[in-house]
Structure 1
Amino acid sequence: MTTALVLIDAQRNMLQGPDAVPAAPRVGPALSDLLSRARAAGATVVHVQNDGGPDEPDEPHTPGWELVHPPLPGEPVVRKTAPDAFAGTGLADELARAGVRTAVLAGMQSQYCVAATARGALGRGLETVLAAGAHATYDEDAPAGDISAAVEDELAAQGVRVLPAEALPLAPRPR
C-alpha cells in the first residue's frame, strides 16, 4: 500500500516570523522531520499551497506565500483557494497517479485546511492519517493547542487515524 505525505499550507506566513502560529517552534521541526523521513523512505510527497487573496499574508508570489520546504524534483505542488485541498485542484489525480491508498496529513491550520482536507480524503476512500504534533493553528476562541487537540478528537471520531508524527511509518512508491 503506497503512502503519501501531504504537507498542507506549510508556508512562511504561518511558520516563520512574528505572525507564525504559536506552536511553530515545535511544529516546524516536526514537519521537517516528517518530510525528511518520507523522502528517505521514497514515499510520495505532495505540497499543498494556499493562494490567499489580495493583501492577505499568503497572497500568491509574496514572501508569506512561499513554501517553507522547497519541493524536490518529482514532488508536485497543488495550489488551492478553498480549505479542502481536494476541492477544485488536481490533488486526487496526483495521488491516484502515484497509486496512493494512504494519505498522511500534516500542516496548517488544524481546524480549517487540515480538517477539511482530511474529510476530503476520507470522502475519496483514502485511508487517512493525521500526524499528531505536525499540525497547528492560531489562538481563537480557545488556545491554539486546545483547538488542534479537539480537531484530532473530531477527526478520529470520523475515521481518521491520529498517530504521533514521529511514529509514522511511510511506505515507498511502487517501482
Structure 2
Amino acid sequence: MQVSKDTALMVIDVQNGMFLEEYPIHEDEKLLNRINLLLAKARESRIPVIYVQHNEEKGTPLETHTPGWEIHSAIAPAAKDLIIQKYVPDSFHETNLQEKLTSKGIKKLVLSGLQTDYCIDATCRRAVELGYEVTIVKDAHSTCGQDSRSAEQIIDEYNQSFAERVNLLEASEIEFN
C-alpha cells in the first residue's frame, strides 16, 4: 500500500521500561526490527515520525525522566522527529498531538508500538473518532501475555478487531511516497 504525504508514522510507547524481564514483550526483537524498517521508509520519504512517550508515577517502570522512560535506543528518534508526552493510553488525551497533526496537514496515521491491548487500541479508537484514516501495522505492535491468554492470542484478537474498522497491513506492505 502506498501512503501519501498527508500521513504520519506513530511509534507508541517503545520505551526501555517495556522491555524488562517482568514484561516479556512478544517477539520484542522482531518488533524493534519492523519498527526500524518503518522508520527508514518514512524518513526516506520525508513522512513525519511521531513518537509517543508514556509517563508514569515514581517507582514504576516508565517513571518520567528515568532510564525506563527513555525511548528504546534501537529505534531512537531523529532530531526532527516529534515526541509527544502522554499519561493515559490514549495518545490524544490532554496532549498536543491533535494540534501538531493539524498544523502538519496530517489526515492519515500509521500506528506501531506498544501495547496492543492498551495504548495502540486506545489511540486507534480515538484517531478514528477524530476522523483520521488509520493503518495499524499488523506485525509492528505487541504486548505481553496476561492472565490465561498469551501475547500472541491477544495480538491476533486485536488484529481481527482492528481489521473491522481500520486498515491492517504488515510492515513490508507499507510504502511511503
In the superposition, the TM-score normalised over structure 1's length comes to 0.92
- Correspondence 1:149 to 2:153: no
Q: Which residue of 2 aligns with 1:6?
A: 10
The superposition leaves residues 20-77 of structure 1 with CA deviations (integer Å, 9 ceiling, x where unpaired) of: 4132021111111111111111101100000011111010111111002332222110
Q: Which residue of 1 aligns with 2:168?
A: 162
Aligned counterparts, 1:1-175, within 5 A: 1=4, 2-15=6-19, 17-19=20-22, 20-68=24-72, 69-141=75-147, 142-157=149-164, 159-171=165-177
Distance 2:8 2:18 in 1: 22
1:97-149 deviations in Å (ceiling 9; x for gaps)? 11111100000000000000001110110000000110000110310011011
State, as a whole percentage, how many aligned pairs show the same letter: 31
1:104 maps to amino acid: V
Q: Post-superposition, which runs of at least 4 consecutive aligned residues in structure 1 deviate over 2 A?
A: 17-20
**Alpha-carbon offset, residue 160 of structure 1:** 1.1
Per the normalisation by structure 2, the TM-score is 0.91
Secondary structure, counterpart of 1:138 in structure 2: coil
Q: How many aligned residue pairs are there? A: 169
- Partners of 1:13 and 1:40 lie apart in 2 by 29
More moved, 66-75 vs 30-39: 66-75
State the one-letter code of the partner of 2:42: A
List runs of 5+ in structure 2 lacking aligned partners: none
The gaps in structure 1 that reach 5 residues or longer are none
Distance 1:153 1:54 in 2: 36
CA distance in 2, matches of 1:34, 1:18: 26
Tell me the amino acid that sits aligned with residue 61 of structure 1: H
